[in-house]
């Protein structure tokens, strides 16, 4: 992610409906993992300003943020987070040193996404977990993807193949932002660049209410805008 995009993200992510609901999804996954044992060491790959890293830390994980962008690392450190500049294809951490790795909106930025998946698997301890999010469906490809440096969008099969080839066992793949997909598709067709900007308060509240409804509706098997994947490293 470019420096300007990182600055825009840091400025809006605490209130923007997209990022708030994704943090809620992360919290739900962390509650699920908490039933399996106490929090350990967590690595947030491609953390940008550290919004998700803060969620990990608040849940009791010893969390480290990594990003290639110096401004992103600086922003995370300003928020009081442990942050390291690192290439996701060559993470500067020992094998088996992490109990959890999160990588939200990372794989789609890297041509060698197999190397990123392999690094996630390498740094995970046996039985450790990975939580991954990527943009879904090349049919939604637009100027937004080009503006934010995407190389591809994924479907369930292509994402699963990359993760499984790295040696991880996929537990679940599900869609998010299903209800708003038609609106997103329409907007993206007219888009001339990145969608990342501060939203009017009422619009932000309305979109937030719609996407929150997916917590209780059986829509995760349908096509959305984002794919989430949970996996673990075989013992």
Distance CA 20, CA 22 (A): 6
Distance CA 76, CA 106 (A): 17
The pLDDT of residue 34? 94
Closest-CA residue to 25 (of 167, 224, 161): 224
**Is the pLDDT confidence value at 211 over 60?**
yes
pLDDT digits (tens, 9 = 90+) for 58-88: 999 999 999 998 989 998 999 999 999 999 9
Query: At which residue do the structure tokens 């020992």 appear?
Result: 94
Say which residues have a Cβ less than 8 Å from residue 17's Cβ, sequence separation at least 6: 199, 204, 205, 207, 208, 211
Check residues 5 and 52 and name the one with the higher pLDDT: 52
pLDDT digits (tens, 9 = 90+) for 121-145: 999 999 999 999 999 999 999 888 8
Global pTM reads 0.93
Q: What is the dihedral of CA 225, 63, 72, 103, to 10 degrees?
A: -30
- Domains of the chain listed by start with CATH number: 3-233 (3.40.50.150)
């Amino acid at each position: 992610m470019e420096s300007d995009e990182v600055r825009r993200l840091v400025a809006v992510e605490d209130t923007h409906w997209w990022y708030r609901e994704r943090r809620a999804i992360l919290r739900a996954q962390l509650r699920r993992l908490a039933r399996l044992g106490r929090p350990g060491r967590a690595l947030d790959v491609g953390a940008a300003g550290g919004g998700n890293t803060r969620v990990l830390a608040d849940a009791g994980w010893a969390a480290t943020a990594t990003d290639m962008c110096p401004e992103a690392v600086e922003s995370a450190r300003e928020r009081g987070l442990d942050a390291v500049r690192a290439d996701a294809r060559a993470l500067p951490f020992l094998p088996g040193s992490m109990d959890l790795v999160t990588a939200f909106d990372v794989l789609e930025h890297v041509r060698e996404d197999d190397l990123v998946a392999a690094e996630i698997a390498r740094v995970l301890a046996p039985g450790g977990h990975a939580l991954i999010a990527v943009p879904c469906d090349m049919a939604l490809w637009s100027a937004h993807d080009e503006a934010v440096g995407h190389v591809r969008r994924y479907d369930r099969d292509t994402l699963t193949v990359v993760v499984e080839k790295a040696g991880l066992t996929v537990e679940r793949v599900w869609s998010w932002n299903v209800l708003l997909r038609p609106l997103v598709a329409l907007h993206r067709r007219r888009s001339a660049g990145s969608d990342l900007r501060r939203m009017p308060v009422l619009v932000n509240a309305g979109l937030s209410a719609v996407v929150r409804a997916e917590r209780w509706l059986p829509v995760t098997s349908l096509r959305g805008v984002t794919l989430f994947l949970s996996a673990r490293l075989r013992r």
